[in-house]
Amino acid sequence: MNDNRVISATAFAILIVLAVFLPDAGISLFASAVISALTIFLINKNTDEPAPVIRVFLIALVLRLIVGIVLHYLDLRDFFGADANTYDSIADSLTHIWHGESSTFSRYEIYRATKVTGAGWGMNYGVAGIYWIFGRNILLVQTICGTIGAATVPAIYFCARRIYNNHRVAIISAYFAALFPAMVIWSSQLLKDGLIIFLLVISMTLVMRLREKLSIIEVILLGLCLFGILSLRFYIFYMVAVAVVGSFFIGISGSTQSTLARITAVIILGIGLTYFGVIRIASADLDTTTDLKNVQRSRLDLARSADSGFGSDADVSTPTGALTTLPLGLTYLFLAPFPWESRTLRQAITIPEELVWWGMIILIISGLIYTIRNRFREALPILIFTLMLTIAYSIFQGNVGTAYRQRTQIQVFLFIFAAVGYELIQERRRDRKGLAQRKRQSEMRWPQHRERQLN
């Protein structure tokens, strides 16, 4: 608890110092403090071991705030995440239009960026809404994204704890999510990635809870998460929806009452999503998502990048072509960028992280095997989702940078399996150590026993 107080004091001291020396960051840090306080409250309410969870959350928070502020004041967004500038410009233009003023974007460009059938409209509206209230402040929105990114860390703790009921596995998973460079850099900026990962983890955790007990509040929260995912990256919505429905009915045995509760949850969720137009919006994008010719065009655009494209000769416009491309896509999705192919500074600085990631793969495989054998029912939602998204990205991706960035949406769940694999190794070491200790104790008692016999 003392360590926790030290970290808490350090975190808030950093916030105060930043607020003093960076006056324009004051409102941003205040927003972060409010979200952080709510997160800590929920951690205390939902676990009997809050201290280590709060500690890793604060570590994740400080890391993301520092990285975000460095990127902001050194003007490095174009280098690390140019999409942030796009969201900022569109949101600013949208607020001008709402005020009846002219904007730097035409009304048609704004319409394309904000129509509710397409990619990322939720991000544009969300940023514009904050600008409407507080004025244009990219650091404010970035800090909110970073704090929500840090909140993913306790969320992954609760997700892992729900599956394995093991504190050590859960806390190791949380540390992986808190410290891994890709998780930090993509959730520290005004980007969709950190928000999507947060919503995915919350969705999977809610599904696991609803499989055990019906809760109207949790059904509503799950519906909100699904709507958020749809508004940020619409094609992921379908995979989450399949994982939700599938995990409610696959591999579950129980009483008639529990079965009816799960059916009721699906019905309520379906009615709610339909009533608020989510199903209609999703249906409008379904043809685009499932048409392999559209996928081929998008993939080819990514693959033609001079710096980081790959597989430009691959053709995924047919089922046979998509299956043929799958091995290459899987290789790049999980292993790229390769150190020997680094041609830019952005690729080169990922080499240390990639080497660590490659070393973790054996842990992931070990943990995955254990999970399938012993915790298949509990882990079914994330198993379905990660499998579907892995296949989709392996077919769709043709760019190393994009694959590296979007891998985090799968990686966050693979950290759980890596933690299981690590803990299995530690258990074997403890077992060997205990066996050796018992053997030494037995050897020490044996001469005394023989001496008593001889006497």
- For the segment 358-369, the average pLDDT, to the nearest whole number, is 96
Cα–Cα nearest to 205, from 136, 278, 155, 149: 155
Position 126 confidence tier, pLDDT thresholds 50, 70, 90:
very high
DSSP string over 346-391: HHHTTHHHHHHHHHHHHHHHHHHHHHHHHSHHHHHHHHHHHHHHHH
For residue 319, pLDDT beyond 50: yes
Report angle CA 128, 133, 137 to the nearest 5 degrees.
65
pLDDT at 15: 66
Model pLDDT, residue 450: 45
- Burial environment of residue 4 by CB neighbours within 10 A (0 to 12, 13 to 18, 19 or more): middle
Per-residue pLDDT, 347: 79
CA 247 from centroid of its chain's CA atoms? 19
pLDDT tens for 105-115 read 666 677 666 77
Res 128: pLDDT = 93
- Whether the CB-CB separation of 417 and 172 falls below 8 Å is answered with no
DSSP class of residue 25? Answer: G
Q: What is the mean pLDDT of residues 9-26?
A: 68
Res. 255: pLDDT tops 50: yes
Q: Sign of torsion, CA 192 193 197 198?
A: negative
Domain boundaries along the sequence of the chain: 2-80+137-423
Structure tokens at 65: 């705030």
pLDDT confidence bin for 252, thresholds 50/70/90: low
**Residue 322: pLDDT band by 50, 70, 90 thresholds?**
confident
Residue 316 — very low, low, confident or very high, per pLDDT cuts 50/70/90? Answer: confident
Average pLDDT over residues 340-360: 87
Say if pTM beats, i.e. exceeds, 0.95: no
* pLDDT of 300 above 70: yes
Q: Exposure string (b/e) for 158-196, b if CB count within 10 Å is 16 or more?
A: bbbbbbbebbbbbbbbbbbbbebbbbbbbbbbbbbbbbb
Average pLDDT over residues 121-128: 92
Give the model confidence (pLDDT) of 156-199 as tens digits: 999 999 999 999 999 999 999 999 999 999 999 999 999 999 99
Task: Over range 365-384, report the average pLDDT.
Answer: 94
Confidence of residue 19 (pLDDT cuts 50, 70, 90): low
**Confidence class for position 325, pLDDT limits 50, 70, 90:** confident
pLDDT at residue 75 is higher than 80: yes
Residue type, 171: I
- Tell whether the model's pLDDT for residue 453 goes beyond 50: no
117: left (phi over 0), alpha (psi -120 to 50) or beta: beta
Give the pLDDT score at 4. 57
What is the pLDDT averaged over residues 301-328? 80
Q: What is the pLDDT of residue 454?
A: 40
Q: What is the mean pLDDT of residues 273-281?
A: 63
Residue 145, pLDDT above cutoff 90: yes
Q: Is the peptide bond before 337 cis (omega within 30 degrees of 0)?
A: yes
> Is residue 57 within a helix (H) or strand (E), and if so which, with residue range?
helix 50-73
Q: Which residue has the higher pLDDT, 12 or 141?
A: 141
Residue with the bigger pLDDT between 419 and 268: it is: 419
Tell me what the mean pLDDT of segment 239-247 comes to. 85
pLDDT band, very low/low/confident/very high, at 101 (cuts 50, 70, 90): confident
276 vs 373, residue with greater confidence: 373
Mean pLDDT value across the chain: 84
Instruction: Note whether 328 and 424 are within 8 A (CB).
Output: no
Above 80 in pLDDT, residue 434?
A: no
**Has residue 261 got a pLDDT over 80?**
no
Average pLDDT over residues 418-442: 82
Residue 455 pLDDT: 44
Counting residues of the chain whose pLDDT is more than 90, the rounded percentage is 42
**Is residue 25 very low, low, confident or very high in pLDDT (cuts 50, 70, 90)?**
confident
> What pLDDT band is residue 451 in, cutting at 50, 70 and 90?
very low
